[in-house]
Amino acid sequence: MPGTKKVKELMVPLSEYPVVYDTDSLKEAILVLKKYMAGGKGHRSLLVFSKSKKVGGEEQLVGILTVRDILNAIKANTLSYNGAELFEISWSKFYHRDPLKEPFITKVGDVIRPLVQAFVQSNQDVTGAIRLMMTKNVSLLPVFEGKKAVGVIRAIDLLDYLGAMI
């Protein structure tokens, strides 16, 4: 019965998801994401942990960094003028230097999506995760057991579940 599935049955375990720290630079985050993509994993976001904040002696999950967050940070660092042509000029000046140094020295913690209310517990029904994704307009939710992060559930992971309900 589709209504009895729990989030933990559909989630991606934490060990299979790319991770960075809030003190890492965007350059480091992009390189981690590229490594996962090159390995055949289609993740489009990273889980962000804090080395200084602990939960039960382990590093605390503090947010999510998506490709859109990275692009918005690039946009903020390169768009100082209006117009597409000026965007190209602004962007090209970074290519004459190391493009992964200048605009990407921003710390991951400065551009992440914090975990305000967009997370679920592993023993929650999947329908609750779907409802939360829809109301919070997100396609990925961190999964916790108590206060400890154990995985993520993505909208794409819910397709089979939704298909069974039809």
Pick from 153, 150, 152, 121: nearest CA to 58 = 150
42 or 125: which carries more pLDDT confidence? 125
pLDDT at 162 over 50: yes
pLDDT of residue 22: 93
pLDDT of residue 125: 92
Fold of 2-165: CBS-domain (3.10.580)
pLDDT tier at 141, thresholds 50, 70, 90: very high
> What mean pLDDT do residues 107-111 have?
88
> What mean pLDDT do residues 25-52 have?
86
> What are the boundaries of each domain within the chain?
2-165
**120-121 vs 140-145, strand pairing mode:** parallel
pLDDT at 6 over 90: yes
Q: Confirm if 155 and 140 have CB atoms less than 8 A apart.
A: yes
pLDDT tens for 75-101 read 776 655 455 544 555 555 545 554 445
pLDDT tier at 2, thresholds 50, 70, 90: very low
Query: From CA 106, how far away is CA 26, in angstroms rounded?
Result: 6
> What mean pLDDT do residues 99-120 have?
75
38 or 20: which carries more pLDDT confidence? 20
Task: Specify the pTM.
Answer: 0.77
Q: Give the C-alpha distances (Å, rounded to integers) separating 141 from 17, 37, 46, 84, 115.
A: 12, 20, 12, 34, 9
How much is the mean pLDDT over the chain?
A: 81
pLDDT at 53 over 90: no
